[in-house]
Amino acid sequence: MLVVSTWKFGYDANQKAWSVLQDGGSAMDAAVAGVTVTELDTAVRSVGYGGHPNAAGFVQVDAAVMDGRTLGYGAVAGLEGIATPTAVARSVMEATDHVLLVGNGARDFAIDQGFEPQEMLTPDARSAWEDWRKQGEDHDTLPADSHDTIGALALDGNGDLAAVCTTSGIAYKLPGRVGDSPLIGCGLYADNDVGAAVATGRGEEIARTCGAFQIVTLIRQGQTPQEACETVVRHLVDRVPSSAEHQMAYAAIDKDGNVGGAAVRAFPYAVTTEGVNEVREGFRLFSETD
Ligand code: SD4
């Protein structure tokens, strides 16, 4: 059994996910429960409740789940007023024969499924947004925590894999903007036969290369998760050099429990398995001073 989540805050998500696995829960149960902790944590300004709003002051979240057993996938994008979008994405996968719901349709569906609508903009996030507006809405002066998606990968006791991804996207984005996180193959991918991968960073860059799918394909062809993550980061930066101005990061696992992580810049990710519960530093292409 194994759980891997992006960023330092992934550590808390992993504790929850690991306890679900230990209680006999599935990889999907564990991954969703883990990231729900992050979605509800107001200290995390880039995911779920308390996330940074879009330019118009509304928190619009994106989330997705993928089930490695069936290649089943469900996602929501541009969803407002629901604090746990990953659970909604799971409902899209399980309760509809669609894969992606957006905007008001996603919200109506969530409410229909029993999710409680709520205000998503916290006073802290509102005041940071108001400051940004007063300073002239300059996209070069975004808050330091203006993005940081949580992606989580889980391998359960049956050998099943799940990948999930959830974000409030880039701070002060254009209303309606959707990043890579809810897009299959870009933000996440999972296949029981091979492994699973998630992405975090600047969605506009990440979405160019379908990196999560590429990583799983490279593992299928014999690369380790670490090699596959590095290959995909290098490929993007070689192919589109301007993308290196942004952060792009991937974490991956294979079906045997090997783990990898690589990014353009510093990328901590959390790893929890039997006897291991730690935050690791991913391979990075550039140091902070490059
Ligand atoms: C997005 N990929 O919406 C997300 C943001 C993010 O780390 O991951 N940041 O583009």
128 Cβ below 6 A of ligand 1: no
Contacts of 28 (CB under 8 A, 6+ apart): 65, 67, 90, 154, 160, 162, 164
Are 73 and 51 in contact by the 8 Å Cβ rule? The answer is: no
Q: Which of 36, 84, 86, 149 is catalytic?
A: 149
Contacts of 97 by beta carbon, 8 Å cutoff, 6+ apart: none
Has 149 been annotated as catalytic? Answer: yes
The most confident of the ranges 44-53, 140-149, 259-268 is 259-268
pLDDT for the residue 256: 98
- Local confidence band at 290 (pLDDT 50, 70, 90 cut-offs): low
Mutation pick for ligand 1 pocket among 79, 142, 180, 264 (CB with most ligand atoms within 8 Å): 180
* CA 200 to ligand 1 centroid distance, Å: 5
Ligand 1 center to 24 CA (angstroms):
31
Task: Indicate whether residue 217 lines ligand 1 (CB < 6 A).
Answer: no
189-215 pLDDT, tens digit each = 999 999 999 999 999 999 999 999 999
Decide if pLDDT at 44 tops 90.
no
Domains of the chain: 2-276 (3.60.20.30)
Give, for 252, the enclosing helix (H) or strand (E). strand 248-254
239-269 burial code (b ≥16 CB/10 A, e <16) = eeeebbebbbbbbbbbbeeebbbbbbbebbb
Tell me the pLDDT tens digit for each residue of 108-164: 999 999 999 999 999 999 999 999 999 987 776 666 665 578 999 999 999 999 999
